[in-house]
Amino acid sequence: TSTCHGATVTLPELMADDAAAGMGARIATFARAIRAMGLPYVMGETNSAGCGGQAGLSNTMAAALWSLDYLAFLALANVSRANFHGGLSAEYTWLGRFS
């Protein structure tokens, strides 16, 4: 999901049954191609909502639960590593937002 250019994401959209599964399925296609070359597939950047996250969505327990669901689908797709974006001023930082 993306919050770039003023877009917003609702909690029901993030938590929809197919949200994490759909992303995992799209990524699985790329992961298979890379792994066929004998290379690990690494997600260099990922998160619940791109472009810094979204207040009231990315910083909720629901987003944390979504992350676990998403990671399970990435594991099924043989993704070797997934780097969740953070930062001290982003809404989706794991450390808590600091200004």
Rounded-to-integer distance, Cα 87 and Cα 94, Å: 8
**Residue 49, CB-side half-sphere exposure with 13 Å CA sphere:** 28
Average pLDDT over residues 40-57: 85
Rounded-to-integer distance, Cα 5 and Cα 74, Å: 27
Q: Taking the mean position of all CA atoms in its chain, how far away is CA 9?
A: 13
User: pTM of this prediction?
Assistant: 0.79
**Could you report how far apart the first and last alpha carbons of the chain are, in Å?**
24
Rounded-to-integer distance, Cα 16 and Cα 1, Å: 12
Q: Tokens 């998160």 correspond to what residue?
A: 47
71 within 8 A of 81, measured Cβ to Cβ: no
pLDDT of residue 5: 74
Q: Taking the mean position of all CA atoms in its chain, how far away is CA 32?
A: 19
Which pLDDT tens digit goes with each residue over 7-36?
788 889 888 888 777 787 888 899 999 999
- Spans of all domains in the chain: 20-99
Task: Report residue 80's pLDDT band, with 50, 70 and 90 as the boundaries.
Answer: very high
Task: Report residue 3's pLDDT band, with 50, 70 and 90 as the boundaries.
Answer: low
